[in-house]
């Protein structure tokens, strides 16, 4: 299925989404954060799309916004998409957890929380995986992070 065909099927399910050019390897879709769980359930359960495999979830700092990029594949049809969700609240960034829809998201959400400070609503165990449990020096992957240990004195 081409990106344009995927886009047409998705538009029939959910209107008002933002798409990138269909000329890329993946169809890139920006989904409002309040629709992400509903949207992912629809595209996972829709027989024509069947996006049943989350192969990457990455936190990202867009500058003014924080967000998450999800890469999904249909194991049945082998087509791929990229979904972006953003939040402009840098002080208390929240996005719904999708670990119940895609179990692979469980540890990826923990990592995005640890390094970007994104709270995944509904995640049962947001704790540090890589940084010390008592880490309180900010979120190292944010663009505005300053590593005070690396400053030349």
Which pLDDT band holds residue 110 (cuts at 50, 70, 90)? very high
Q: What is the pLDDT of residue 148?
A: 72
pLDDT at 51 exceeding the cut of 60: yes
- Distance in angstroms (rounded) separating the CA atoms of residues 70 and 82: 6
Mean pLDDT for the stretch of residues 28-49: 97
Q: What is the pLDDT of residue 33?
A: 96
- The percentage of the chain sitting over the pLDDT mark of 90, rounded to a whole number, equals 88
Task: Sheet with 18-19: list strands edge to edge.
Answer: 18-19, 27-30, 80-87, 66-73, 53-61
Which pLDDT band holds residue 3 (cuts at 50, 70, 90)? very high
Give counts: helices (H), strands (E), the chain. 3, 7
pLDDT at 146 exceeding the cut of 90: no
Q: What is the pLDDT of residue 48?
A: 96
Which pLDDT band holds residue 150 (cuts at 50, 70, 90)? low
Which pLDDT band holds residue 22 (cuts at 50, 70, 90)? low
Q: What is the pLDDT of residue 59?
A: 98
pLDDT at 14 exceeding the cut of 60: yes
Q: Which domains does the chain have, with CATH numbers?
A: 3-121 (3.30.460.80)
Q: Which helix (H) or strand (E) holds 53?
A: strand 53-61
């Amino acid at each position: 299925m081409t990106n344009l065909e995927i886009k047409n099927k998705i538009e029939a399910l959910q209107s008002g989404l933002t798409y990138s050019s269909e000329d890329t390897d993946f169809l890139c879709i920006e989904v409002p954060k309040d629709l992400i769980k509903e949207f992912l359930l629809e595209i996972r359960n829709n027989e024509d799309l069947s996006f049943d495999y989350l192969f990457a979830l990455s936190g990202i700092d867009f500058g003014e916004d924080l967000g998450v990029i999800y890469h999904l594949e249909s194991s049945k049809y082998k087509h791929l998409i990229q979904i972006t969700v953003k939040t402009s609240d840098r002080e208390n960034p929240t996005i719904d957890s999708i670990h119940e829809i895609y179990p692979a998201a469980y540890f990826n959400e923990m990592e995005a929380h640890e390094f970007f400070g994104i709270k995944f609503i509904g995640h049962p165990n947001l704790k540090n995986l890589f940084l010390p449990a008592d880490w309180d020096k900010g979120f190292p992957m944010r663009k505005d992070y300053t590593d005070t240990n690396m400053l030349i004195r």
